[in-house]
Amino acid sequence: MPKLLIESFYTEFSVSEIIAALFKTAVSKQFSFSAWRLPLQENLQISITFQTEIIPENFPLENAPAGFIMHPFSVSEKNKPYFLKADLLFEADLKAEEISGDDLTSSPLADDFFSALKAALQTPETDTKWHIADSETNATPRAGFEELVENAIHFIKKSETEKIVPSRAAEKHLPPHFSPVNGFLKLTQQYPLAFVSLVSAPEIGTWLGASPEILVQKDRNNIFKTMALAGTQKLVSGQNAADAIWRQKEIEEQSMVVRYIISCFKKIRLREYVETGPRTAVAGNLLHLRSDFCVNLNEQTDFPTLTSDMLHLLHPTSAVCGQPKAAALAFLNKHENYDRRYYSGYLGPVNVNAETAVFVNLRCLELRQNEAILYAGAGVTQDSDPQKEWLETELKMQTVAKALQILTMPDDTATGY
């Protein structure tokens, strides 16, 4: 791959200014922009896509070029799965103030992009524009969500369903002169353990988030990973995560996800895997129960498409849908009464630097013209309390929104939970 020479012209600007200009140029050209920071890593990756590609449900990750996948919770005419091929791929080191990149295409659009990038750096704008999707998402009032939880509890008790994960959306005004890139950079600083991402595409809109949950991952050493993450409680200031006490409701909720992952392994007849956990994991202002699963594909040579196979078997997991999947999904389709769009779908880099890391799209928001649409859900079992499930969604929304000064929430809102 030919290495892009970062011209001396660019040294006049900080890396954050260059990233902002990359974003501005992509949006102005109707290109797609993806930026992300993997958990526990310092460097950022930025991808520019000249043309998005609609992909099939059984899209094979192993054969894909370098790029970024964005998949909705449920595929529909309005919400389609897209692959954002990395036509231009950058790596940014904010501490060293260095940025480099690869031109992965022979398209003349690359030269045009860099000409526009120079102009964007020389003429910074106060008000940033971003891609806005042609869609509507209705906010869910508290009474409506608590009624939805009550209905879910009733449905669980009268059926063989173990768990349902209803969700809701909220609309909040953006602060003046809000910058998606600044928001992205702030999230990378505040949540080092999360997968932090900013995606803006004409067909998808603009999404910003800090997800704690790996769906599937294959690293450059050919090690496959997935996780079971469920159960939620507030992280109390000064609390040691290892001292957290979990109720039976959360323990059972997380064990359902564990059993579901194991059932997916059984479907493809994979028997050799390493399971660790559950343990308490910190995710922003929240604690969760987490179990990790690992498969060494250097030893398990009969599963060359394990990453794709598990991705398609796992989604939507019981952590975002319910268990059993078919019954829970049917309930949500009938009663949830709003469009999740890409919330609780999945997203992440594919075959970038010889690694694939796909995460569940949680702790996220969608940007509109002057407001943010926040999303959150709660795992409901027969032992759930509708008021506590509402408070759980408030806490989850706070993870990203409070960091971006979009939403403030009184500290006593979640007292006792």
pLDDT in tens, 194-251: 999 999 999 999 999 999 999 999 999 999 999 999 888 988 877 888 888 999 989 9
Reply yes or no on whether the pLDDT at 2 is more than 80: no
Tokens linked to 356: 């694939």
Tokens linked to 261: 């992952």
**392 closest CA partner among 234, 208, 243, 255:** 234
d(CA 48, CA 113): 10
Which amino acid is located at 398 in the chain?
A: Q
**Predicted confidence (pLDDT) per residue in 98-129, tens digit:** 898 888 988 899 999 999 998 898 887 667 89
Tell me the CATH architecture of domain 142-194+230-349+369-414: 4-Layer Sandwich (3.60)
Residue scoring higher pLDDT (7 or 304)? 304
**197 closest CA partner among 305, 357, 77:** 357
Domain locations in the chain as residue ranges? 142-194+230-349+369-414
d(CA 392, CA 379): 9
Reply yes or no on whether the pLDDT at 411 is more than 80: no
> In this structure, is the dihedral angle defined by the CA atoms of residues 116, 80, 213 and 157, taken in order, positive or negative?
positive
Which amino acid is located at 91 in the chain?
A: E
Reply yes or no on whether the pLDDT at 413 is more than 60: no
Which amino acid is located at 216 in the chain?
A: V
The pLDDT value recorded for residue 6 is 52
